[in-house]
Homo-oligomer: A and B are copies of this chain.
Amino acid sequence: MGGWLKVAGLGPGDDALITPEVSAALADATDVVGYVPYVERVAPRPGLTRHGSDNREEIRRAEQALQLAATGHRVVVVSSGDPGVFAMAAALFEALEASEPAWRALDIQVLPGISAMLAASARVGAPLGHDFCCINLSDNLKPWALIEKRLRLAAEADFAMAFYNPRSRARPEGFERALEVLREACGPERLIVFARAVSTPEESLRVTTLGEAQPDMADMRTLVMVGSSHTRLIQRHAGGAERQSTPWVYTPRSVSGAGS
């Protein structure tokens, strides 16, 4: 039958951040399946059918991809960033587990991509250079109380933190509450980074403290990072590009701040 299914990460936006592995899969595919703006990142060509679907259609999209692969198509399910971090890979396996057992013999692979977290971290320095955690702040699929519990435990563990989906238009109050919890747990001097649309033309970066942070500094395209108690700033000397004026933010490898 010859069909296969690859769940692939397109990275944060810049084509120079798409791995050759993913590019090769796209070049060999008969079908690309995904959320409309991600599918549109794949150039049309003869022999390729692009199936764009709405957000929050993840399970139906995954079933469609499995069905296509089961009937001999070569299918790439595209995610932004990395497919394994709050993206399509988990949805695909949820659909696979709930579907007909024969599909478990399909040739399925997950192809990693540059996650928004790694791209944002690179842009400002190395804020995740020591132990860290990664939390989806959307309460679509989990109770808000669990998010708050995780924020408090992450602060107690002194992790650096990366937050996905910080602020939806439908529930902007969630992020305001998250900032309050973090200020209480980490203090107003703790560093926070707002990295929006990294590697796209709309990229913007802002480095501030929890005391100065405002909820409207984030939207759904923003990756937010909060430092550990050891995370530090380095002011850059004046340079030409706008990016140069944002200070570097990094978390030393050692808890004492001492080098090796």
Contact = CB atoms under 8 A, between A and B. Distances in A.
Interface of A: 11, 14-21, 24, 56, 58-59, 82-87, 89-98, 101-102, 104-105, 107-115, 118-119, 121-123, 125-136, 140-143, 146, 149-150, 153-154, 156-159, 232, 234-239, 248, 250-256, 258-260
Grouping DSSP codes into helix (H, G, I), strand (E, B) and loop, the A interface class, with mixed when no group exceeds half, is: mixed
Contacts of A254: 141-142
B129 A132 contact: no
Nearest to A163: B131
A237 B85 contact: no
A93 B133 contact: no
Nearest to A125: B93
B21 A19 contact: no
B234 A85 contact: no
B110 A126 contact: yes
B90 A130 contact: yes
A114 B22 CA distance: 12
Given A14-B21, A90-B130, A94-B253, A237 B150 contact: no
A104 B252 contact: no
A122 B89 contact: yes
Contact of A153 (B19, B141, B153): B153
Contacts of A19: 11, 16-19, 114
A107 B83 CA distance: 32
B136 A104 contact: no
B112 A121 contact: yes
B84 A126 contact: yes
A18 B260 CA distance: 28
